[in-house]
């Protein structure tokens, strides 16, 4: 669905959904934004409910879409770090708005998304 939604003929909101729609993308972006030297394994620990396969897939799509940058260091065992791209950073206001709405909705404070987690 992602690629279909990104179709330039679609309305703006629909296109946006093409980039951040999906169960995990918004939270993955926030984790990458609020973290430092964010590694794959760190993300799996922070978000135990997302499977490794899905996480890898979402990261790949986010990279394809130019929202995050993947730094791969040629070491053994491997080390990979993710960070938001400049384009990805422009999404912050959107993610913040979504976060704020969800917070005032109910259960404020469950999983404090916006506060950095080590």
Which stretches of the chain bind DNA, using CB under 7 A? 1-2, 4, 21-24, 39-42, 49-54, 56-60, 70, 72, 76-80
Least gap, CB of 14 to its own copies (angstroms): 6
With contact defined as beta carbons under 8 Å apart, do 32 and 52 qualify?
A: no
86 binds, among DNA, its own copies, none (CB under 5 to 8 A by kind): none
76 binds, among DNA, its own copies, none (CB under 5 to 8 A by kind): DNA
Which residues of the chain form contacts with its own copies (CB under 8 A)? 1, 5, 8-17, 19, 21, 23-24, 26-27, 30, 90-91, 93-95, 97-108, 110-111, 113-114
């Amino acid at each position: 669905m992602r690629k279909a939604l990104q179709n330039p003929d679609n309305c703006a909101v629909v296109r946006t959904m093409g980039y951040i729609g999906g169960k995990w993308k918004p939270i993955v972006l926030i984790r990458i934004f609020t973290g430092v030297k964010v590694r794959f394994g760190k993300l799996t620990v922070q978000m135990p409910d997302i499977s490794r396969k899905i996480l890898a897939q979402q990261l790949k799509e986010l990279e394809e879409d130019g929202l995050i940058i993947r730094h791969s260091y040629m070491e053994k065992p491997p080390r990979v770090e993710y960070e938001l791209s400049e384009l990805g950073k422009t999404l912050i206001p959107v993610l913040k708005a979504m976060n704020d709405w969800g917070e005032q909705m109910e259960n404020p404070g469950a999983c404090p998304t916006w506060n950095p987690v080590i």
